[in-house]
Amino acid sequence: MIQHFGSLLLKNFRGFRKRTRVPLAPLTLLVGPNSSGKSSISDALLLVAQSRFRTLPDDEQSPKWGGNLVDLGSFADVVYNHKADRDIEIGVEVRAGFLGKGMLKEENCRANIHFILRAGKNDKVGRLASICFTDYLSGQELDLRYVPGALRVRFAGHATDISHHELRNLQLRGSYRHWRSERRFFERYVFRPLRKIPKRVRGSDAAWERLGLSLDFFLWPIFNEVERVSSGRAPARRWYSLLEAQTDARRSRASDVYDEVDPTMLTSSVDPRFTPYYEGLRFETRSRQMTGLPISLPGALEELDIAEDISSTTVSPYHLSIDVKDNRTGIRSNLLDVGYGASQVIPVLRGCMSRARGPLIVEQPEIHLHPRAQSIVAGYLAKRSQHRQTIVETHSVHVVNQARLLVAAGVLPAEDVIVLFVGRSKAGSVVHPIRINAQGDFSAEWPTGYGFFEERYRDTLELLRLKGKPPRESE
């Protein structure tokens, strides 16, 4: 089963002023001009994952604007036009489906969760004002509002206020981290009293069970395993601390952000479902994609024509280096000496190989790579999206075209890919969803005037015009 975000709703979040619904797919490509709002889409998801809001009131319900996943500054930095008297709204639709073609089916589990963030005067952080969970079949809502001194719960048209004092007396604070404990609380103090009013809760039992199932098994877990490959990836280092590498290797789970090369990437376990399927211009059949040996980091670097092998070498009792073997000369050199592209692509490859189940957000995978390598990396990301949602922010035509080729070749289902062109207007950021049909063509007109595919066409026309001019006489 794959868990992924089906859509995102934003209001007053950075450049998004009006309430905007952004459709998402297992493979989502974010394109558009600089400062148009592409990063805002991924940043909103990263903020929710980083904050890990809890449903019952406690001292940790403030948004975590800065952290390992993303650094957004403060409430005033994020709210539209920096007007802190406005509420920020972030809504996420979470879906769970099974692998294979057409996994986005109506019968698959889904739920909506809607957050409202609010700040008072001179409040730099703000707070969680409400969370609303919506059952996708009945439309029933479990609405939690954090009013002064109490938690106001509304479900099936019935509302009740539970004071913070009562919550503290229930001694539930130690259970706040797990929704199952909170669900037991709501079952006892909210839902059970509703059963005494049958006419008002007709059909609510099933809605409650669906909400509970969604939250137990795939809504909260998806936020805990979101990972990011940063666009600001650091260059390789001449040497690394051995103690630091050993400490990193003992971590209980993989890092949630990949922003530099480190020795642990050479020995980290690889998701066995991730196999290579792109070889030059040949595409393997769908049945062959699901079989074969896991791709290795050396194998990927060799296909990218960067190196034949990569390994770490102990240079002192306290330090080690990362060395690569040239795939043509066989000479082994320090990673720092083989070009900047190698250190930039390794974090992308490591993100593709991660065992985490939450969405993978990749920023600018094409940095410092030549066109063929960009296409190969795009193929890896596309393959990863069949087992884990992959959201890619890119300025590369080759990355977009690779997705089109894979759809046309039958490697990717057309419904599993979407291109989001993010533009700007006086009213704020605007999203143009563009689907790719089974032939690899865009199902909607590409926005003009922003510069992307048409830039090559314009350059070609200009070159032809210049060729047609008579040669200038030498002076």
* Helix residue ranges per DSSP H, 354-426: 371-385, 397-408
Could you tell me if 277 and 289 are in contact, meaning their C-beta atoms sit under 8 angstroms apart?
A: yes
**Using one digit for the tens of pLDDT, what is the confidence trace for 18-72?**
999 999 999 999 999 888 889 999 999 999 999 888 676 665 578 999 998 999 9
Residue from 246, 273, 242, 255 nearest 350 by CA: 255
**Cα(473)–Cα(475) distance, rounded to whole angstroms?**
6
CA angle 311, 313, 314 (to 5 degrees): 150
Residue 402: the pLDDT is 92
**Cα(346)–Cα(262) distance, rounded to whole angstroms?**
9
Which residues neighbour 474 within 8 Å (Cβ) at sequence distance 6 or greater?
none
Q: Which residue has the tokens 């006419």?
A: 199
Which residues neighbour 350 within 8 Å (Cβ) at sequence distance 6 or greater?
258, 265, 268, 297
Residue 273: the pLDDT is 56
Residue 38: the pLDDT is 92
The one-letter code for the residue type at 364 is Q
Q: State residue 327 phi and psi, 5-degree precision.
A: -75, -5
**Cα(190)–Cα(410) distance, rounded to whole angstroms?**
49
Residue 425: the pLDDT is 85
**Cα(78)–Cα(80) distance, rounded to whole angstroms?**
6
Q: State residue 386 phi and psi, 5-degree precision.
A: -80, -10
Helix, strand or coil for residue 222?
Answer: helix
In this structure, the dihedral spanned by the alpha carbons of residues 207, 208, 212 and 215, taken in order and rounded to 10 degrees, is 60
Residue 100: the pLDDT is 44
What is the Cα 185 distance to its own chain's centre? Answer: 32
All residue ranges of the chain with pLDDT < 70 are 1-2, 54, 56-60, 97-109, 167-205, 208-209, 212-220, 245-255, 267-295, 448-464, 469-475
Q: In what order do the strands lie in the sheet with 428-435?
A: 257-258, 227-229, 360-363, 390-393, 27-31, 417-425, 428-435
Residue from 131, 358, 391, 44 nearest 224 by CA: 358
Strand partners, 241: 319
Residue 285: the pLDDT is 33
Phi-psi region of 342 (alpha: psi -120 to 50; beta: other; left: phi over 0): alpha
The two structure tokens encoding residue 475: 């002076």
The one-letter code for the residue type at 357 is R
Strand partners, 145: 130, 152
Residue 79: the pLDDT is 95
Helix, strand or coil for residue 93?
Answer: strand
Query: How far separated are the first and last CA of the chain, in Å rounded?
Result: 72
**Cα(444)–Cα(294) distance, rounded to whole angstroms?**
37
Residue 281: the pLDDT is 32
Strand partners, 92: 8, 113
Could you tell me if 88 and 13 are in contact, meaning their C-beta atoms sit under 8 angstroms apart?
A: yes
